[in-house]
Amino acid sequence: MQSSPSESMNPAYPEVSVIVPARNEEACLEACLISLTAQQGVPFEIIVVDDGSRDRTAAIARSFAGVTLIDAGPLPEGWSGKSNAACTGAQQARGQWLLFTDADTVHLPGSLARALAEAKRSGAEMLSYSPEQELRGFVERAVMPVIFAELAATYKPRAVSDPSLPAAAANGQYLLITRTAYDAVGGHAAVATCLLEDVELARAVKRSGRRIRFRFGGDAVRTRMYRSFAQLVEGWTKNLALLFKAPARRALMRLLEFLAIVVGTALLAVGLHFGDIQLVVPAGIAVALIYLNFLLRIRKAHAGVASSALAVFGLAIFSYLLLRSKLYYTWHRSVTWKGRIYSTVDPKPQSERRTSTCPAGERWSI
């Protein structure tokens, strides 16, 4: 059923080791591996790391000739599951470059060779793409463009790619790094307890004086991050409060922006209905200016016309998700992801702690 491995797969000396951490990914792993095994133009190997899956994830990986399947093993205390799986895969990898990519990605033909050439051409020891988002249903189309526009404004690709600036970021869905740089900064073991391991790893790479290249990568990879509303809520609850500083204030700002557009539009409609020019003109100008500013910001999400139009409703949903994430970190003191509960409180006594600082100041025991 699956395609045969390309001639570039599993050479004696692979230049790239593609590492796919996978936990209960039967819905998407097959498509990911079909796209990866078809890559050409660079010698590579593929390693799938089964992170305690309870579905057909392992069986799907085994069905692909040439794909190496390994088990992540027991989760070390305090570690995130993804960091453990990525670290396990890196230990097995033989390549000079390591590509960490998620099981819900689909890679365009020839993208691996092009990405490697881009990294070498730019002198980057870490290259990360933000994939094109596949959006389905009203909620995904409304809120995902808002979130990725906020991310693009916060983690500006141009600033991240500038070696003279301290800004650093990466997207763990597509993270290509030299083995030398990975080992030099301690790899995923150095960020093992951080739920934003991709961003923290990028910060470590840039602090080490190495160049990062970060950009929208719709020409290389696409993904559908969440396949249900419950997954979307759980995933962004885990991430949003760590991705953005002052999340409560940002949530309030976006909610006020949404209300301004809705109320302004309502006033405009009332003015038009009753022919009240004194109401129509100021309401129309205000709504046009606010909405134009919003659309200019949403363009950075590369979400397409239809999703960008619906994104005004995503402002309210984003505010809810961001505030929910903040409350889970400050009140619930734990977040849940893929059947695991991660505490945001370090239970160890101070004398026994070694800590790693995560983005937004959260600290996790190692």
Residues 188 and 327 reside in one and the same domain: no
Helix 277-298 to helix 137-154 angle, to the nearest 10 degrees? 70
- For CA atoms 237, 225, 170, 254, give the dihedral sign: negative
Residues 309 and 202 reside in one and the same domain: no
Residue 354, pLDDT > 50, answer no
- For CA atoms 129, 248, 227, 135, give the dihedral sign: negative
Q: Is 12 exposed, middle or buried (0-12, 13-18, 19+ CB in 10 A)?
A: exposed
Residue 168, pLDDT > 50, answer yes
| Predicted model pTM | 0.89
**Segment 283-299, tens digit of pLDDT:** 888 888 988 889 889 98
- What range does the domain containing 255 cover? 247-365
DSSP letter for 125, please: S
**Segment 325-353, tens digit of pLDDT:** 999 999 988 999 999 999 876 544 333 33
Residues 200 and 346 reside in one and the same domain: no
Residues 201 and 322 reside in one and the same domain: no
Q: Determine, yes or no, domain membership for 79.
A: yes
Q: Determine, yes or no, domain membership for 153.
A: no
Name 21's bridge partners. Answer: 49
Residues 202 and 263 reside in one and the same domain: no
Residues 223 and 254 reside in one and the same domain: no
Q: Determine, yes or no, domain membership for 164.
A: no
Residues 207 and 273 reside in one and the same domain: no
Residues 223 and 251 reside in one and the same domain: no
Residues 218 and 361 reside in one and the same domain: no
Residues 218 and 347 reside in one and the same domain: no
Q: Determine, yes or no, domain membership for 251.
A: yes
CATH number of the domain where residue 197 is located: 3.90.550.10
Q: Determine, yes or no, domain membership for 78.
A: yes
**Segment 316-332, tens digit of pLDDT:** 999 999 999 999 999 98
Q: State how far Cα 20 lies from the chain centre.
A: 14
Residue 365, pLDDT > 60, answer no
Residue recorded with tokens 């790094």: 177
Q: Determine, yes or no, domain membership for 151.
A: no
Q: How many domains does the chain have?
A: 2
**Segment 47-101, tens digit of pLDDT:** 999 999 999 999 999 999 999 999 999 999 889 999 999 999 999 999 999 999 9
Amino acid at 119: A
Q: Is 279 exposed, middle or buried (0-12, 13-18, 19+ CB in 10 A)?
A: middle
Q: Determine, yes or no, domain membership for 302.
A: yes
Q: Determine, yes or no, domain membership for 114.
A: yes
DSSP for 2-54? Answer: PPPPPTTBS-SS-SEEEEEEESS-TTTHHHHHHHHHT--SS-EEEEEEE-S-S
Residues 214 and 71 reside in one and the same domain: yes
